[in-house]
Structure 1
Amino acid sequence: MNEDGSDTTRPSAEVPEFRRIRSEPLPPQQVPPRRSGAGRPLPWMPSAAARRRRAALLLSGFLSALVLLASGTAWSVTGWLSGQLQRYDVFTGLLEGDRPDAGARGALNFLVIGSDDRSGLDAGQRSELGVGNVEGRRSDTIMLVHLNHERDHITVVGIPRDSWVQIPGHGPHKINAAYSLGGPSLAVQTVESVTGVRIDHYVEIDFTGFVEVVDALGGITVCLPEAIHDEKAHLSLEAGTHELDGVQALAFARTRKSPHGDLDRIDRQQQVLSALLDRALDSQTLSDPARFTRFLETALGSVTVDEALDTAALNQLGSQLRTVGLEDVTFTQVPVDRIDFWTPSGEVAVTWHEQRAAELFNAIAADRPVLTEEAEADPVLPEPGEVVVEVYNGTGVSGLGGRLRAELLAAGFQVPAEAGNWVRHDLAETLVRYSSDSQDAAVLLLESIPGARPEEDPALGGRVQVVAGANLTGVAVPADLASREAEQPVDVGGRDAVHTSTAADNICR
């Protein structure tokens, strides 16, 4: 996947066309206020507080589709609202025998796609948005949104678009290729196949729709722990708090100019969703019927949903989810084991941690809470003399492996064998390779070798390997490290465990 959003592995076969069907009901007429017995006017819309609570449903997990239910329970409004959406027949072609079993009774699962379709943008618009000129359409953002049976909690799972998966009928590809190969139906079929979770509804929004939603709410506030500079996306932000308009928010959500690329993007997208929800709750947009109607007319033309998400379904969800708030929306992402998997075509992809990903999706399918991986009870890191290391040279620099072995020996580690040559000779970063049986030893080595990064390999069976990369500077065991307790013995890499946050956690305060 290139930095401008293009995918050089995109198949060249002709892409099947799919049509969206748009209905055209008229906006609701202004209804004169009724009067209560006491003579007090009763507005045709529910109270501002009720509308704000309902906005929590959509803005938490559905991008701009989140605002669909914020209009309240009036049938005339939801009927008009439903008609503003574009619709696509997502599920008809899916064979029942190939789909996962239905989930827990009453729970609902939405597949939310952010499309990178540029077909409706001219050259000037593409340049302004910083989205490049790649033709075709792909799923730029993929989220699985779970509404629990009690309708008091929403879970949003970010799926890396570079995930290396089996696409039904097409073999191994990055998961975002499913949309370009077969549209929404194949995207749903692929996500169901790799997660085992049955999808009940489909929501899609394009670039312009996202920008319009942010601008209609007056922008969003985000907090950056470190600066981001992306010339292609026209984004330059220093560390700190920033107010972003729609174009900047799109660039912020899409940029990959950070150490963990696609995974960091998911974190930023979740921050953007939380900021949208927070701004919607504080904005006057939802308390002013005329302003709210204009907002919906602007935003919803870029939203596509499945045909079953009709007026009745929207009305019912709006009523059921009226009490959901910031603290009731949980964000997480698929646990991964590699972010540098080399595909057969020579591109870098992401692979999932099979066991932990299965546990995550099994919990969602069963409508159970998603639990964060907890560290095991305070093990103490080993002494260097207790760690046996295999050393390899992963560069073309002659003698670098031998130098690394000598420094590890001098630091007290056991290195019985001479350094060997690794299968690759172009490693930029030094690797500490380990299995689940050698996590404590890996932590000690990672702290002792500046710039090294972890790589878990279950096949090592307790062995530990260090592969010298071009960034190797030396070995130095911190004085207090060998005897102190391991702070993160379970999650060496930080990305293979399940981590969660709420929308309230993600917003700037």
Structure 2
Amino acid sequence: MRVPPQRHNYQQAPAGPPQHGAPFPPSAPRSRNPFRRRSGRRLRLGRIALMVVIALLVTTIGSLFYYDSKLHRVDALASYAGRPGPTPGSTWLIVGTDSREGLSQADKDRLATGDSDGSRTDTIMLVHKPPSGKSMIISIPRDLYVDIPGNGQRKINAAFNFGGPKLLVQTVEQLTKMRIDHYGEIGFGGFADLVDAVGGVNICIDTNLRDPKAGLRLKKGCHDLNGKQALGLVRTRAFPNADLERVVNQRKFLGALMAKATSPGVVLNPFRLVPFVNGAVGSLTVDKKDHIWNLVSLAMALRGKPITTTTPNAGSQVTDDGDSLIVGSNTEEFFTYLRKGKPVPDELIQNSGGAIK
């Protein structure tokens, strides 16, 4: 006899809230994924950081091109028959002139520049960055007796008078047999402005200095020199060896100025960096092919402790141009090492004298 299957009487639960005292039915567990939330936050932060980096890059590149367009340029590195071929490394010709252009009478009085017209070279230096090793700052004494193309034997500072930057570059290249890659020129007022823009430069001197013609009066010891004082220091020839000691001071001060300009206190401080860049752009004259990034490279090459020296020579001699320094075999030997990209022996390095420690 077959037993009929049991029938279950299922009743649908009434709609609406449960009766008083009855528990709520358990809800389905909600999906939680902490890793997904963290990944989302990281993605958003990454996008924000990328946008900030892009904005900084655009601003930096825009600033570079803006300042580059403001540089004063001159055709200094022109081609000519017999010009030396490329030299290993990179070489700048840096010229400091006694130009008073742009200075008011009050500025001339404040800086004790005098009222001479025209423009002569107070400073002639090579900054040479070899393929390897330390950079060099090489002073070329203004009284060095050389052949100036088209003008015969004269003191080298006359080249700028005769033919401006182009003739001076040609004269230096013919003397050294080295190719000049970059050119920089600055006058009295621009130099003082650069020093003031970085907040002054700390310099220690080993003797009292007083030169009314240069507006200089400093006691022995260390000083934070402002633009006026710095200009007086690099101009003064009130030494037993006059210009030979002055060029030593000029080299040492240039190194100190570049060290200050590339220090974190200036580079990371817009109140120092922006005035310095504005001052450099407003006061420097460069070759028509030079750019703001070339100036940055120059500053970085000088920020360490470069080797500094005066061009070797055969001593003084009276010439048709007065008391002059004569080019000797040591002059040729010195520049031969540079042309070959080799270190210069210590016996050819001349860095004694001057007042700056």
Listed as ranges, the matches of 1:307-346 within 5 Å are 307-310=288-291, 314=294, 318=297, 325-327=303-305, 329-339=306-316, 341-345=317-321
Report the counterpart of residue 225 of structure 2 in structure 1. Answer: 244
Report the counterpart of residue 255 of structure 2 in structure 1. Answer: 274
Deviation at 1:295, TM superposition (A): 2.6
Tell whether the 8 Å contact from 2:248 to 2:351 is kept in structure 1 after alignment: no
The whole-number CA distance in structure 1 between the counterparts of 2:318 and 2:149 is 21
Report the counterpart of residue 288 of structure 1 in structure 2. Answer: 269
The whole-number CA distance in structure 2 between the counterparts of 1:187 and 1:140 is 13
What is the CA deviation profile of residues 203-258 of structure 1, one whole-angstrom value per residue up to 9, with x for unaligned ones? 11111111011001111111212222111112122222222110110110010001
Report the TM-score when normalising by structure 2. 0.78
Among residues 261, 267, 281, which one is paired with 2:242 in the alignment?
261
Listed as ranges, the matches of 1:358-437 within 5 Å are 358-373=332-347
Identity over aligned residues, as a percent? 35
1:351 and 2:326 aligned: yes
Give the gaps of 5 or more residues in structure 1: 1-34, 47-71, 374-496
Among residues 161, 165, 178, which one is paired with 2:159 in the alignment?
178
Report the counterpart of residue 349 of structure 2 in structure 1. Answer: 498
Among residues 68, 88, 103, which one is paired with 1:121 in the alignment?
103
Q: Which amino acid aligns with 2:122?
A: D
Deviation at 1:330, TM superposition (A): 1.6
In the superposition, relative to structure 1, how do residues 87 and 158 fare at CA in structure 2: closer, same or farther (>3 Å)? Answer: same
The whole-number CA distance in structure 2 between the counterparts of 1:227 and 1:324 is 28
Among residues 24, 28, 37, which one is paired with 2:46 in the alignment?
37
What is the CA deviation profile of residues 96-138 of structure 1, one whole-angstrom value per residue up to 9, with x for unaligned ones? x32122212xx21111111111233333322322222222111
Deviation at 1:371, TM superposition (A): 2.2
Report the counterpart of residue 409 of structure 1 in structure 2. Answer: none
Report the counterpart of residue 231 of structure 1 in structure 2. Answer: 212
Deviation at 1:362, TM superposition (A): 1.1
Aligned-residue Cα RMSD (Å) equals: 2.9
1:208 and 2:189 aligned: yes
Deviation at 1:507, TM superposition (A): 8.1
Report the counterpart of residue 147 of structure 1 in structure 2. Answer: 129
1:75 and 2:56 aligned: no
Tell whether the 8 Å contact from 1:275 to 1:507 is kept in structure 2 after alignment: no
In the superposition, relative to structure 1, how do residues 223 and 44 fare at CA in structure 2: closer, same or farther (>3 Å)? Answer: farther
What is the CA deviation profile of residues 284-340 of structure 1, one whole-angstrom value per residue up to 9, with x for unaligned ones? 3210346422331233211111111136x639x74x99687413x22111113324x
What is the CA deviation profile of residues 166-208 of structure 1, one whole-angstrom value per residue up to 9, with x for unaligned ones? 1110112111111111010000011011111111111111111
1:99 and 2:99 aligned: no
In the superposition, relative to structure 1, how do residues 335 and 83 fare at CA in structure 2: closer, same or farther (>3 Å)? Answer: same
Tell whether the 8 Å contact from 1:36 to 1:42 is kept in structure 2 after alignment: no
Worse overlay, 301-310 or 184-193: 301-310
Deviation at 1:39, TM superposition (A): 5.7
In the superposition, relative to structure 1, how do residues 250 and 153 fare at CA in structure 2: closer, same or farther (>3 Å)? Answer: same
The whole-number CA distance in structure 2 between the counterparts of 1:180 and 1:227 is 34
Q: Which amino acid aligns with 2:319?
A: T
SS state at 1:326 partner? coil
What is the CA deviation profile of residues 379-407 of structure 1, one whole-angstrom value per residue up to 9, with x for unaligned ones? xxxxxxxxxxxxxxxxxxxxxxxxxxxxx
Structure with the higher helix share, 1 or 2: 2
Report the counterpart of residue 482 of structure 1 in structure 2. Answer: none
The whole-number CA distance in structure 2 between the counterparts of 1:290 and 1:217 is 9
Q: Which amino acid aligns with 1:369?
A: P
1:131 and 2:113 aligned: yes
In the superposition, relative to structure 1, how do residues 45 and 142 fare at CA in structure 2: closer, same or farther (>3 Å)? Answer: farther
The whole-number CA distance in structure 1 between the counterparts of 2:252 and 2:300 is 22
The whole-number CA distance in structure 1 between the counterparts of 2:209 and 2:166 is 35
Among residues 293, 305, 308, which one is paired with 2:286 in the alignment?
305
Tell whether the 8 Å contact from 2:262 to 2:299 is kept in structure 1 after alignment: no
Report the counterpart of residue 109 of structure 1 in structure 2. Answer: 91
Deviation at 1:158, TM superposition (A): 0.6
SS state at 2:214 partner? coil
The whole-number CA distance in structure 1 between the counterparts of 2:125 and 2:271 is 31
Report the TM-score when normalising by structure 1. 0.56
Tell whether the 8 Å contact from 1:233 to 1:255 is kept in structure 2 after alignment: yes
Give the gaps of 5 or more residues in structure 2: 1-43
Report the counterpart of residue 9 of structure 2 in structure 1. Answer: none
